[in-house]
Structure 1
C-alpha cells in the first residue's frame, strides 16, 4: 500500500475501519483479493515475491505495509517486505512481540508496517526502528513516517473524519475518497528527492499513469462478530478491472 487511513475505536463493535490504495508498477504480477489455499489468509498476492501488501488472517488479525520513499533504492538483493505481513498473519505472535523481534533488523529496504492482533494496533517505522503505539481516532500513513502531513494524507484523514461523523462508512461513502485524483499544488509538495513532476503525480490519493499507479483500493471493517473486506482493482490509467468483497465470521 502507498496510502492508508483508519479509524481506530478499540472499545466499539467495529474496532478498526481501514481504507487504502496500493500503488505499484502494472508490470509486476499480482493476484487480487482471495482466500489463499496454502494459508489462513485473505489478501491479494504479489506473484513476484509471494507476499502481500494488505491482508487479514486467523482471528481477524491484520497487517498492512507501505514502502518508505527514497530517491535511490539500494540495488543489493534484499528480502521482500511483503513477506513481513504474510508471516505475521500466519503467526500466533502478538503485534508487539512480532515488532520487537523485527525492529532491530536492517535486512529490508525501508518500510512502515501496521499490525492489529485483535487487541492492540501498532506501527513500525523501520527507518527509525521505532514502534508506534497508535491512539484511538483517525490516523494515516503513506510513504513517510506515520502521520507525516503530506497533502494527500491530510485530505484523506479529513475526508474520513467527516464520513465517520456523518455515519457514511459504507463502500459507497468511502470509495470516492480513495479515487480522488486531485494533485497538490507544487508549493505544497514534499521533497523526497524524486523529480518534481513525479512528486506531483504521486501527490494524488489515486495515482494514474501508463506504467505506474493505483492498482487496488481496499476498505476493511473489522468487527468483533463479522468482518468485511472490499477491494477494487485497476489497470493502467485507472481502468477498472475487478471488484471483490468478502465477509468473514
Structure 2
C-alpha cells in the first residue's frame, strides 16, 4: 500500500509539503532520483528500470505561470486496462511534470491510479478508476491520499475489507502524529534540520501494521 500526506498552507514560505511512501512492487529494479529522461532534462525522479517511468517527478518550472511542480503516483483499485493496450502508469508523473494536462481521452490504456499534482499555488489529485476520471483540489491543511483515493473515500472495487482497514489505520496514526508537532518549512539545510519533528515520523515512527488478512 502506498500512502502520501500533503500539507498545503498558502500563507507559508513553503506552501506544499509532500510525504510519500512507496511500498508496493518493491522487487522492481530502480535507480535513485536523477535526470534520467533526455527529452525532459529538467525533470528529476527515481527511474523504474522495468518500464522507464517513475513514481515521483519534480520539475523546477512548468505549467501555469511557470510554477515548480511535483507529481506523485499511487496505484488504484478498479478496472484494469486491456493487456494488449496497457501503458505503464510510471509515465504519468512525467506527463504531469511536462505541464501537459491529464485528460480522459487516452486513460483507458492505464490501470487505475491516483496522481498528485502539486504546485505552490495548489494541489490536485487526478484519479482514474478504469472507467471514470475525477479531479480533486485539496483544501488547505493536511490531506492523505491512499490507494483508495483522497482520504480513502473512493470506495473502489475490488478492495478487500482488511486492506481498507489497514489503510485507514495507517492514515489515522500518521495524521495524528504529524498534526501534533510543528509544521516544518524546509530550507537550504540538511534534512535532519530542515524537516524538524516531521522527519522521525516520516521514517516510520515505530509504526507496525496490526491488521492481518483473514
For Structure 1 versus Structure 2, the TM-score category normalised by the shorter chain is 0.7 to 0.9
| TM-superposed deviation, 1:123 | 0.6
Equivalent residue, structure 2, for 1:243: none
State the distance in 2 between where 1:170 and 1:120 align.
Answer: 22
Confirm whether residue 63 of structure 1 aligns to residue 71 of structure 2.
yes
1:34 Cα deviation from its structure 2 partner: 1.9
Cα root mean square deviation, aligned: 2.8
Give a deviation string over 1:36-72, Cα, whole Å, max 9, x none. 36221111111111111112113221100100146x9
Greater RCO between the two (CA within 8 Å, min separation 6)? 1
Provide, for residues 71-106 of structure 1, a one-character-per-residue CA deviation record: whole Å limited to 9, x for no partner. Answer: x966724101110101121x234xxxx13x247732
The aligned runs of 1:38-117 (5 Å cut-off) are: 38=38, 39-59=41-61, 60-69=68-77, 76-77=83-84, 78-89=86-97, 91-93=98-100, 98-99=101-102, 101-102=103-104, 105-117=107-119
Aligned residues: 181
Shift of 1:166: 8.5
Q: Distance in 2 between matches of 1:103 and 1:132?
A: 18
What's the secondary structure of 1:14's corresponding residue? coil
More strand by proportion, 1 or 2? 1
Deviating more after overlay: 158-167 vs 4-13: 158-167
User: Conserved in 2, the CA contact under 8 Å of 1:62 and 1:115?
Assistant: yes
Say whether residues 1:137 and 2:141 are aligned partners: yes
Which structure 2 residues correspond to residues 76-225 of structure 1 after superposition, within 5 A? 76-77=83-84, 78-89=86-97, 91-93=98-100, 98-99=101-102, 101-102=103-104, 105-127=107-129, 128-148=132-152, 150-164=168-182, 170-171=194-195, 173-178=197-202, 179=204, 180-185=206-211, 196=213
Measured in 2, the distance between the counterparts of 1:81 and 1:14 equals 29
| Alpha-carbon contact 2:184-2:197 (below 8 Å) kept | no
Alpha-carbon distance in structure 2 between the residues aligned to 1:169 and 1:104: 43
Change (3 A) 1:175 1:117: closer
Mind listing any 5+ residue stretches in structure 2 that lack a counterpart? 62-67, 153-166, 186-191
Matched residues in 2 for 1:75 and 1:184: separation?
35
Q: 1:161 to 1:27 in 2, by over 3 A?
A: same
In terms of mean alpha carbon deviation, does 158-167 or 103-112 score higher?
158-167
Distance 1:14 1:166 in 2: 9
